[in-house]
Structure 1
Amino acid sequence: MAEYDALPDVGHACGHNLIAEASLGAAVAAMEAMKTTAAAKGKLVVLGTPAEESHGGKELLLQKGAFTDVDVAVMVHPIHQDSLRAGFNASQKITVRYRGKAAHAGACPWEGVNALDAAVASYVNVSLFRQQMKPACRVHGIFTESGKYSSVIADTSAILYHVRGETLDDLSELVTRLEGCFSAAAQATGCTMTTERSLIYKDVIHNMALTKTYRKHGIAFGVEFTDDDLSFIEPCGASTDAGNVSYEVPTIHPMYRILASGKNHTPAFAQASNSSEAQPPTLRVAKMLALTALDLFTDPALVSQAKAELADWKKARSREGCQTTALVA
């Protein structure tokens, strides 16, 4: 999988340019190796996956059948450290819109229904709720509409919230609680309310059979993973639509270190992603991906093991009554 979208204003502050480079480099290397490896059987696809940052390109590709004949999906992502299994949260964006009634704010404010008050009350409700949220849950938002003139009671307002939960089930629970915060604000102010939801980004299910294979090649190239890298999932607070793929296809999404004076989504990381210093680690992980792919093409049992692992995970979730499909967006 090859991401390639940039962020507004700051550019490639999440290193998606390097992701595309690593995926293409891995594909070229693997294809060349397959030409001289008689046991290598299979089809190698480089799938461009747009709009990871905001619009869930991978989920749309899933819905359109782009992954129907795919047995395994792999990609890498630059960050400030080497990590096999980063804990990506499930997430969804929710826009809450309030509608009230305009009135002259000085002459007859009592004739108005203040939509801005509803938005503020909603924001306060969410802030008060944070004390009861699970540690990995996050809700952050901005006012996108709040009236146009201070002398007019605002008849419309809107807040865009980004909601994250450690798992898809945590996200579902969190969204249900937040709906109470939103509707309480509408009721208290006399406004009406509507919500708009984005596609859901699911949490990433790291396939262990594939992870161990990738790790083996990383160690051979001198990558120093932590001692508990196979047993510990390190929370990163971010989200990715690669999680949606991981629910349907055995997937790995390891992170790799580039030298940067700031973390992802900062101007400093954008500068690092475009620097020559980012090239050696990117080429190294491309080789690691290529060798992982070659193992898959020469060892059908490894592919079967990865598929069986995902199937067992789905069965376990079904028995526990957990969600395996996304909430209605």
Structure 2
Amino acid sequence: MRPQDALLEELKQRACEGVELNAARLGALSRSIWSRPELAYEEHHAHDALTRFFGSGELPGAAWAVRPRYKLGTAFRADWGTAGPQGPPAPLRIAFLCEYDALPGIGHACGHNLIAEVGAAAALGLKAALESLPQPAPSAVQVAVLGTPAEEQGGGKIDLINAGAFDDLDVVFMAHPSQENAAYLPDVAEHDVTVKYYGKASHAAAYPWEGVNALDAAVLAYNNLSVLRQQMKPTWRVHGVIKNGGVKPNIIPSYTELEFYLRAPSMRDLSVLTEKVENCFKAAALATGCRVEIKGGENDYYNVLPNKSLEKAYKENGKKLGIEFISEDSILNGLSGSTDFGNVTFVVPGIHPYFYIGSDALNHTEQYTEAAGSQNAQFYALRTAKALAMTALDVIFKPDLLEQVREDFRQVKLKEEGQLNPAEPGKESGVDTGACASR
């Protein structure tokens, strides 16, 4: 084994030891977030717990520089770095992302408390490895932990992108709880839409002809979408609810409201699907004489771009730790959700693997909430953090890998944006997706 390879393996061991050294603190952090679930943009307890965690003097080694309320009220950033040779190159900036918002009514049923723990643990492991170096690294390294609120609703990462929080980062890492281990699942693009119909109230028995029925418009819109499904691609998804259907049976409803999520494998497909769906809404208004108001969500979620080089490195490290990954067939033949990490992959190379937490419960259920807060999940979360830290070390100490990661990012982004090998007319872009546990 070459000396540099032996050094890298030694550093990976130090990273794993660094995670284990802080296991009790990390478990307490996760449990604290889990026990106080908070909705999007309201994660004040989680924000304070994480900033206290990195700002306390109890962690080993040099202190972290912590910035609370970083560009958003419940976001934060913690930084630590190594010295390198004077002059160029610029420091390599590695970031680990934490999520910590919960779901209404059922708490941490998507395991975001574990996402926060994994991000924190991986950062501590990487820091421990770099601090153990007998001499400075070939180049300076900056390690950041970025707290990203509001994944379940609103898209906090998109807000942070727009605020410039990712501008100085080179590679980003995070991991999401699921029912299996996968280095990559093709999470799809998502557009949210709220539809409001305005009619005219009237007595439903005495003179219904004087009314304009907004509930009829809502029902027609729902049925129009059901008819549209025959012409939808197998990888498209449209699902929604009628949030307001009227007041009383003897009053012709003058107002109704629907909320729908639209999903497709790529932003190109999503724009096509959105136009078709909006035509269904408009047709219902025309047929009933109602006025319609269609309003999209503030932030569209982009599909997650793959990075084959990062995925390969992560799988190699994960297998050394005993992680068993699902097959490619399982990925291609399943279903998927959406995440604002997709938007991140359009601005900086990154990886968003999924990890098993010791339970077969499905995300967004009460059973998964229980599993995410269990002691059993700790082993799997910390093992995932070790694999992320080990992969970050590969990026730092293998210059060829870093260049390939950047090239993968460039090529995939160009292809996605239609500048390289654009999709043929009538040919579906993207691929079918794997089992997923995000939004």
Task: Quickly name the TM-score band, shorter chain normalised.
Answer: over 0.9
CA contact (8 A) 2:180 2:326 kept: no
CA distance in 1: counterparts of 2:102 and 2:332, whole angstroms: 27
Alignment-derived partner of residue 13 in structure 1: 109
Q: Which of 269, 272, 280 is matched with 2:368 structurally?
A: 269
- AA aligned to 1:183 is K
- AA aligned to 2:319 is I
Q: 1:227 to 1:180 in 2, by over 3 A?
A: closer
Query: Are positions 1:223 and 2:223 aligned together?
Result: no
CA distance in 1: counterparts of 2:127 and 2:277, whole angstroms: 49
CA contact (8 A) 1:75 1:254 kept: yes
Query: Are positions 1:204 and 2:204 aligned together?
Result: no
Alignment-derived partner of residue 314 in structure 2: 214
What secondary structure does 1:43 align onto? strand
Greater Rg by CA = 2
CA contact (8 A) 2:187 2:265 kept: yes
CA offset at residue 243 of structure 1? 0.4
What secondary structure does 1:181 align onto? helix
TM-score of the pair, normalised by structure 2: 0.71
CA offset at residue 309 of structure 1? 1.4
**Residues 267-317 of structure 1 deviation map (CA, whole Å, 9 limit, x = unaligned):** 111100000000001110111111111222223332222112111223333
CA contact (8 A) 2:176 2:354 kept: yes
Alignment-derived partner of residue 297 in structure 1: 396
CA contact (8 A) 1:87 1:236 kept: no
What secondary structure does 1:86 align onto? coil
Matched residues, number: 322
- AA aligned to 2:189 is A
What secondary structure does 2:377 align onto? helix
CA contact (8 A) 2:111 2:177 kept: yes
Over the residues paired in the alignment, what is the CA RMSD in angstroms?
1.7
Q: 1:152 to 1:312 in 2, by over 3 A?
A: same
CA offset at residue 11 of structure 1? 0.7
Within 5 Å, give how 1:140-179 maps onto structure 2.
140-179=239-278
Alignment-derived partner of residue 326 in structure 1: none
What secondary structure does 1:313 align onto? helix
Query: Are positions 1:138 and 2:237 aligned together?
Result: yes
Alignment-derived partner of residue 117 in structure 1: 216
Within 5 Å, give how 1:297-316 maps onto structure 2.
297-316=396-415
Q: 1:240 to 1:298 in 2, by over 3 A?
A: same
CA distance in 1: counterparts of 2:254 and 2:327, whole angstroms: 57
CA contact (8 A) 1:79 1:257 kept: yes
What secondary structure does 2:260 align onto? strand
- AA aligned to 1:158 is E
CA contact (8 A) 2:188 2:302 kept: yes
- AA aligned to 1:254 is P
CA distance in 2: counterparts of 1:165 and 1:81, whole angstroms: 23
Q: 1:233 to 1:2 in 2, by over 3 A?
A: farther
**Residues 144-198 of structure 1 deviation map (CA, whole Å, 9 limit, x = unaligned):** 1111122111111110001111211111111110011100000000011111111
Alignment-derived partner of residue 25 in structure 1: 121
Q: 1:23 to 1:233 in 2, by over 3 A?
A: farther
CA offset at residue 227 of structure 1? 4.9
CA contact (8 A) 1:87 1:235 kept: no
Query: Are positions 1:52 and 2:151 aligned together?
Result: yes
- AA aligned to 1:277 is N
What secondary structure does 1:202 align onto? coil
CA contact (8 A) 1:115 1:156 kept: yes
CA offset at residue 261 of structure 1? 4.2
The gaps in structure 2 that reach 5 residues or longer are 1-96, 424-428, 430-439
CA offset at residue 234 of structure 1? 5.7
Alignment-derived partner of residue 252 in structure 1: 351
Q: Which has the higher contact order (CA 8 A, sep 6+)?
A: 1
CA contact (8 A) 1:13 1:265 kept: yes
Bigger Cα displacement from structure 2, 62-71 vs 293-302 = 293-302
CA contact (8 A) 1:41 1:298 kept: no
CA offset at residue 321 of structure 1? 5.4
CA contact (8 A) 1:87 1:234 kept: no
Alignment-derived partner of residue 35 in structure 1: 131
What secondary structure does 1:174 align onto? helix
Alignment-derived partner of residue 99 in structure 1: 198
Q: Give % identity.
A: 43
Within 5 Å, give how 1:233-248 maps onto structure 2.
233=332, 235-248=334-347
CA distance in 2: counterparts of 1:180 and 1:82, whole angstroms: 40
What secondary structure does 2:305 align onto? coil
What secondary structure does 1:117 align onto? helix
CA distance in 1: counterparts of 2:208 and 2:338, whole angstroms: 43
Query: Are positions 1:194 and 2:293 aligned together?
Result: yes
CA distance in 2: counterparts of 1:290 and 1:234, whole angstroms: 30
CA distance in 2: counterparts of 1:34 and 1:234, whole angstroms: 40
